[in-house]
Structure 1
Amino acid sequence: MFNPTTRRFLTTAAGTTVAAGAAAVAAGWRHTTDFSVDHLSIDCLEPGALHGKDAFRILHISDLHMFGRQDTKTSWLGSLVALEPDLVVNTGDNLGDRQAVPRVLNALNGLLTLPGLFVFGNNDYFGPRPVNPLRYLAGKKQPVSGDELPWRSLRAGFIERGWLDATHTRQEFTVGDVRIAAAGVDDPHLGKDNYGLIAGHPNPDADISLGLTHSPEPHVLDRFAADGYTITVAGHTHGGQICLPTGTPIVTNCGINRAAARGLSRYKGMWLNVSNGIGTSKYAPIRLFCAPSATLLTLTEKQA
Structure 2
Amino acid sequence: MSSNPLPYNLYSALARRMGEKAISQRLRMQVEHAASWFGKGFGHIHLENLDSFVNFVDTVLRITGMRDKGRSNSLDFKIEKNTVSIPGLPEQLDGFKILHLTDIHIDGFIDRGEALLASVAPLLCDICVLTGDYRLLTHHSHKASATGMSRLATQIKTRHGIYGILGNHDFIEQVPDLEESGVRMLLNEGQSIKHNGAEIFIAGVDDPHFYGTHDLDRAFRSRPRGIPTVLLSHSPELYAEASARSVELYLCGHTHGGQICLPGGIPVITHAACPRSMTTGSWNHGNMSGYTSRGAGCSGVQARFNCPPEITIHTLRSTGGGS
User: What TM-score comes out, normalization by structure 1 length?
Assistant: 0.75
What is aligned with 2:164? Answer: 118
Match of 1:102 in 2: 147
Q: Determine if the alignment matches structure 1 residue 27 to structure 2 residue 69.
A: yes
Inter-partner Cα distance in structure 2 for 1:74 and 1:45: 39
Residue pair 1:201, 1:228 contacting (<8 A) in 2 also: no
Q: Distance in 1 between matches of 2:259 and 2:205?
A: 24
Match of 1:255 among 273, 285, 306: 273
Name structure 1 gaps, 5 residues minimum: 1-17, 126-148
Count of matched residue positions in the alignment of Structure 1 and Structure 2? 255
Matched position secondary structure for 2:175: helix
SS of aligned partner of 1:192:
coil
Please give the alpha-carbon distance, in whole angstroms, between the structure 2 residues aligned to 1:59 and 1:34.
Answer: 18
Does residue 1:157 correspond to 2:180, yes or no?
yes
* Mapped pair 1:268 → 2:274: no
Assess if the C-alpha contact under 8 Å between 1:95 and 1:124 holds in 2.
yes
SS of the residue 2:320 aligns to: coil
| 1:93-121: CA deviation from partner (whole Å, max 9, x where unpaired) | 11236322011111221316642211010
Q: Percent identity?
A: 27
2:61·2:67 contact (CA, 8 Å) conserved in 1? no
Instruction: Name the structure 1 match of 2:229.
Output: 209
Distance 1:78 1:28 in 2: 20
Which structure is larger by alpha-carbon Rg, 1 or 2? 1
Query: Which residue identity is paired with 2:179?
Result: A
**Residues 60, 45 of structure 1: alpha-carbon distance in 2 compared, 3 angstrom cutoff:** farther
Cα distance in structure 2, aligned partners of 1:84 and 1:231: 20
RMSD: 2.6
Distance 1:23 1:176, change over 3 A: farther
Contact kept, 8 Å, 2:106 with 2:148, in 1: the verdict is yes
Q: Note if contact 1:95-1:104 (Cα within 8 Å) is conserved in structure 2.
A: no
Where 1:123 maps in the other structure, the secondary structure is coil
Question: For the structure 1 residues 19 and 167, does the alpha-carbon distance in structure 2 shift closer, same or farther, using more than 3 Å as the test?
Answer: closer
Displacement of 1:205 in angstroms is: 4.0
Aligned residue in 1 for 2:132 = 92
Residues 46-104 of structure 1, C-alpha deviations (whole Å, 9 max, x = no match): 25x132x6511111100110116754733433442422111111001112363220111
Contact 1:168–1:183 (Cα < 8 Å) also in 2: yes
CA offset at residue 183 of structure 1?
1.4
Residue 20 of structure 2 corresponds to none
CA contact (8 A) 1:276 1:291 kept: yes
Asked whether the 8 Å contact 1:202–1:227 carries over to 2, the reply is no
Give the one of 174, 188, 208 matched to 2:194.
174
The answer on whether the counterparts of 2:179 and 2:185 sit within 8 Å (CA) in structure 1 is no
| Distance across 1 between alignment mates of 2:63 and 2:284 | 36
Q: Which amino acid aligns with 2:131?
A: T
Aligned to 1:290: 307
Partner of 1:300: 317
Q: 1:179 to 1:255 in 2, by over 3 A?
A: same
Task: Tell me which amino acid in the other structure corresponds to 1:269.
Answer: N
Shift of 1:25: 4.0
Partners of 1:101 and 1:150 within 8 A in 2: no
CA contact (8 A) 2:193 2:199 kept: yes
Report what 1:223 is aligned to. 241
1:242 & 1:184 partners in 2: Cα distance? 28
Find the residue that maps to 2:65 and give its secondary structure. Answer: helix
User: Deviations along 1:212-251, whole A, 9 cap, x unmatched?
Assistant: 101221xx22111001111010011111112110112112
Q: Between 259-268 and 222-231, report the one with greater CA deviation.
A: 259-268
Matches within 5 A, 1:182-197: 182-189=202-209, 190-197=211-218
Kindly indicate whether the alpha-carbon contact (under 8 Å) linking 2:296 and 2:309 is maintained by their aligned counterparts in 1.
Answer: yes
Contact 1:101–1:153 under 8 Å retained in 2: no
Residue 254 of structure 2 is aligned with which of 221, 236, 240? 236
How far off its partner does 1:302 sit?
Answer: 0.6
Q: Aligned partner of 1:257: which letter?
A: P
1:128 counterpart residue number: none
The CA distance in 1 between the partners of 2:185 and 2:203, in whole Å, is 9
Contact between 1:250 and 1:258, CA under 8 Å: does it hold in 2?
Answer: no
Structure 2 unmatched ranges of 5 or more: 1-59
